[in-house]
A and B are shown apart, each in its own frame.
Chain A
């Protein structure tokens, strides 16, 4: 520092400029140029989607096979999960560790996840290894070896994963909520527990795989410095031998919404806090009313600035967190609220959550609050598709659930068009006040407090077995 300079004063001693006192006025919202998605089909029925991003030498690939957990054969839940994980565990000419070497060689990463409606494979690699990567993918898909020891290894992983997840109150509560919402529906099998894994055999796996893993039951999404023509040529070269097969189109009907509030409890002695899940089956994402529902969700529980969080955490100090969310399935959605609350205020928390829902269905949300929610959603949307992986995953979800342009090109304008009236009108039509409620917590603390407004609680164990009903008079 130079002696005698004006900087000798500590910053706080210099009077601040006027502009520091108030926030600047934001500029107008810029246009969003959504990347264009191009598509084509190969002769064998494989659908290809291409998104061109020419600024990175990386290709992100998603492979969707419509063989999600809901397609597992009756009596064999878990089969779809096993089948999906088998493709990276050995194929003709390559052992599972050689497949790992190949994936590493292309700078790649490969992962598998199984949704109720589809199996999703994510493969990212360096663009100069496109051929080598597609060749590997084709061998994995077309010539899996299904070795018994690899099947056993996957079954072991599935078993221990479920056992481990079974110690998470969130996992238990959500699985139980879905079990009850899907009670009389084929989707119930997506909520399987570890006990059923022993029933999965090589004998059943092989036909399941060859029945479902077919090009006409598959979509491939590629993002990178690629045009449609090149992509088509390359994919065709490696996957043209893949034979199509007549498939029965599966269009499962939506489960019915829960009509009467149902409260369930699972005991977990280790839980310091109580975990609440409240949800119901609502309209599918393809219904145009989904946009007012999305805005309503934002107002209610989308972020820490939403009503549930501000009430249950900041004002009442009942909860550590409280959010709401919409999960899409093929022909319906599940709207749910999850909260972590102090165990001694479970009933009061459920009451507060229902009060918050009631207040949305009884009184119009102010235009200011609606606009604030919309501005969050519009501001946040591009953030969800910035990285190559995020962009590709978002498009994959869109294609897997057939969400169409309303959730892609027209997302901005659809959200913009939502008004307070539309949210009000919709919230009265959605069965938000008759949810399935699941509480996971310590029974010594939680059960004693019921009876004020909750008069009946069904008790389940952690595996989902019904144990009985407590009635409070």
Chain B
């Protein structure tokens, strides 16, 4: 039958289409993008994850140790423990004197640093590559046999209390940041200052610190990431010697899940006689940091507020001059990332106008398609910053460790970049509508 034949033809054409495109996409997925650098993941018997990235261009090696612990692991009444612990990691062990870790690295011509956040504590060092074993010795020593005693804890406590006072004096807006955290994250675990409170620090006992160390500073709660001029086999042997001999710790206690605010939207205000200008914090809760929505969300961050030509910069700072200062980002913190803005204005009237302008920009993002030129610009800017995360050995070691902790795999940055580049104007509209709803959180700061 003619009709049937015709339908068959269509079917054949359709099949051909499916075959052709299916095959094409098949080829594409087989043709996986190569890693832009070498990287291998290992797991030791005691649960320590090890990432090695070999690069022989310069005689440098970077060693990053990330403990999967931060202020979110603290209990009420014991805030500041995580940061105090970071400080104590430099105060010596059975084998190493106070601050000797620092002076050894300095004498080698190396550099070191450490940082504590809500969800991580990170120790970093970059040294001449012939000194790698020295760093492994030092880093394993403080995981294995840190010395915690009353005198050291007391000294660290007083230093941090001094630090809290200095920070408060230097930044009159600091407490507004803390209050904003409480509004956007109602659960205690996620909403108290990383630096801790003076009262809690005063009350901390040596045993609290020892318990914290024994619970969280264990191989099964850490990632050791090394990048630079290394001989992988030799390094692995050394790592086994220094680290695999450290006993595995107990199971890591779970942190209660993050609650959402009960009533939305939230709009609160606080008064201060210390701040020179009024302003506000504005934010939204987003998704788990490993969510695929971050491909579009990350670009939205660039469209809205990265660089001097982003939408909010242009509108609030340049064109309408509604704000004196603006900063913000998408903070990929565990377990719920957030979009946040901090803005300073000339007066209260400008505060309201700036908020209206922000909502109108969000509305525009949700209701009209971005031009391909503007989307491409944000992708290019994003790409530069993304690549910058692994341009040198230290940032690369850190990048690999952090991405591993979010996704539990070794992330291939070339493939990841393709996913960001595949984001379409429709995705931007879709994701904006999913997250920028009626649940904004605003904290106004009124200058008395």
Contact = CB atoms under 8 A, between A and B. Distances in A.
Tell whether A and B belong to one assembly.
Answer: yes
Interface of A: 1, 6-7, 9-12, 14, 16-17, 19-24, 26-33, 53, 55-58, 97, 100-101, 104-109, 124-126, 129, 303-305, 372, 375-383, 385-388
**CB-based closest 3 A-B pairs:** A379-B109, A380-B109, A107-B384
Contact of A388 (B133, B248, B391): B391
Contacts of A380: 109-110, 128
A20 B60 CA distance: 24
Given A106-B380, A305-B107, A11 B133 contact: no
B144 interface: yes
A303 to B, nearest CB: 6
Nearest to B36: A55
Contacts of B127: 379
Nearest to A124: B384
A104 B37 contact: no
Most chain-A CB neighbours within 10 Å: which of B37, B130, B245, B391? B391
B214 to A, nearest CB: 6
A215 B214 CA distance: 64
Nearest to B307: A104
A30 B59 contact: yes
Interface string B303-321: 0000111000000001000
Contacts of A379: 108-110, 127-128, 131
Interface in B101-158: 103-104, 106-111, 126-131, 133-134, 136-137, 140-141, 144-145
Nearest to B380: A107
A147 B268 CA distance: 46
A305 B99 CA distance: 12
B383 A383 contact: no
21 contacts: A10-B214, A11-B218, A12-B145, A16-B94, A17-B245, A19-B137, A20-B137, A20-B141, A30-B59, A30-B229, A58-B391, A97-B309, A97-B318, A100-B309, A105-B373, A375-B107, A376-B107, A376-B108, A376-B109, A382-B128, A383-B110
Interface in B204-252: 214, 218, 229, 241-242, 245-251
A26 B108 CA distance: 10
Contact of B137 (A10, A23, A109): A23
A105 B380 contact: yes
A372 B107 contact: yes
A24 B109 contact: no
Contacts of B309: 97, 100-101, 104
B416 interface: no
Contact of A6 (B36, B106, B247): B247
A105 B377 contact: yes
Given A1-B251, A376-B107, A16 B60 contact: no
Contacts of B111: 383
B387 interface: yes
Contacts of A377: 109
Contacts of B214: 10-11
Contacts of B381: 104, 107
Interface string B58-79: 1110000000000000000000
B245 A383 contact: no
Interface of B: 36-37, 55, 57-60, 94-95, 103-104, 106-111, 126-131, 133-134, 136-137, 140-141, 144-145, 214, 218, 229, 241-242, 245-251, 307-309, 318, 373, 376-377, 380-381, 383-384, 387, 391-393
B128 A29 contact: yes
B145 A16 contact: yes
B416 to A, nearest CB: 14
Contacts of B134: 23-24, 26
A11 B108 contact: no
Given A20-B144, A104-B307, A376-B106, 9 more contacts: A30-B129, A53-B57, A55-B36, A55-B55, A97-B309, A104-B377, A124-B384, A305-B107, A382-B59
B133 A55 contact: no
A435 to B, nearest CB: 27
Contact of B58 (A9, A16, A386): A386
A58 B381 CA distance: 12
A180 B176 CA distance: 46
B80 to A, nearest CB: 23
A72 B250 CA distance: 69
B57 A383 contact: no
A321 B362 CA distance: 48
Contacts of A53: 57
B380 A382 contact: no
B95 A20 contact: yes
B383 A126 contact: yes
Given A1-B251, A107-B383, A383 B60 contact: yes
A58 B387 contact: yes
A13 B140 CA distance: 16
Most chain-A CB neighbours within 10 Å: which of B140, B246, B249, B384? B384
B131 A385 contact: no
A306 B95 CA distance: 24
A382 B384 contact: no
Contacts of B242: 19
A22 B94 CA distance: 11
Contacts of A22: 95
Contacts of A31: 59
Contacts of A9: 247
A387 B128 CA distance: 15
A24 B137 contact: yes
B380 A385 contact: no
Contacts of A97: 309, 318
Contacts of B307: 100, 104
Given A6-B247, A386-B392, A387-B392, A30 B130 contact: yes
Most chain-B CB neighbours within 10 Å: which of A101, A126, A382? A382
Given A20-B145, A305-B107, A29 B57 contact: no
Contacts of B110: 379-380, 383
Contacts of A124: 384
A252 B122 CA distance: 50
A196 B354 CA distance: 37
Contacts of B58: 32-33, 382, 385-386
B384 A303 contact: no
B107 A55 contact: no
Contact of B384 (A11, A21, A108, A383): A108
B387 A56 contact: yes
Contact of A387 (B137, B383, B391): B391
Contacts of B133: 24, 26-27
Contacts of A372: 107
Contacts of A375: 107-109
Contacts of A129: 380
Contacts of A14: 247
Most chain-B CB neighbours within 10 Å: which of A16, A33, A372, A383? A383
